[in-house]
Amino acid sequence: MDRKIKVVIAKLGLDIHWRGAVAVSRLLRDEGMEVVYLGNQFPEAIVNAAVQEGADVVGLSTLGGNHLTVGPKVVRLLKEKGLEQILVVMGGVIPPDDIPLLKKAGIAEVFGPETPIKDIADFIRKQVGSRIAS
């Protein structure tokens, strides 16, 4: 890939836990990606920012328990705009039983609090690369 992968990262809704999202934003930047951190946003604003920024990836961070409603809504709004190629990933403290539901709803991967940044970056590079190739 001859350009930087562009990642838009947002906290879902009114979730007040921001430290992890900021840390992941900085670490993905250090991995060579272009990262736009939105802070707290609702799905419509996240999707609009992804469109405006030309994002390859939307990263959603949540600890607030809204992951099963607000996360899939981001995926649905992207599909409604014909932007299925944008990869959506989620991070936070997510109950393991909810992860299959999120993946079924279109969240490509869910990363827990102890996930090494290299694992997240490698997943993004592989997924974005294959989406561009197809």
Does the residue 128 lie in any domain? yes
Look up the domain containing 107 and give its range: 43-133
Q: What is the pLDDT of residues 33-43, one digit of tens each?
A: 999 999 999 99
**Structure-model confidence comparison of residues 65 and 41, the more confident one:** 41
pLDDT at 131 over 90: no
Task: At 94, give phi and psi (nearest 5°).
Answer: -115, 125
CA 77 – CA 45 distance, rounded (Å) = 10
d(C-alpha 96, C-alpha 77), whole Å: 25
pLDDT score, position 63: 81
Please report the DSSP string for 81-120 in residue order.
TT-TTSEEEEEE---GGGHHHHHHTT--EEE-TT--HHHH
Q: With respect to residue 11, please indicate whether it lies within any of the assigned structural domains.
A: no
**Mean pLDDT taken over the chain:** 92
67-80 and 43-53 helices cross at what angle (nearest 10)? 40
Quick check: 6 pLDDT over 80?
Answer: yes
Let me know if residue 2 belongs to a domain: no
The pLDDT value given to residue 1:
66
pLDDT in tens, 22-32: 999 999 999 99
d(CA 53, CA 7): 9
Does 37 map to a domain? Answer: no
Residue 30 domain-assigned (yes or no): no
d(CA 66, CA 117): 24
Give me the number of domains the chain comprises: 1
Higher-confidence position of 69 and 8: 8
Q: What is the CATH number of the domain that holds 106?
A: 3.40.50.280
For the stretch 96-128, pLDDT in tens is: 999 999 999 999 999 998 899 999 999 999 999
Give CA separation, 25 vs 6, 76, 86, in Å. 11, 24, 17
- The whole-number pLDDT of residue 133 equals 66
**pLDDT tier at 20 (50, 70, 90 boundaries)?**
confident
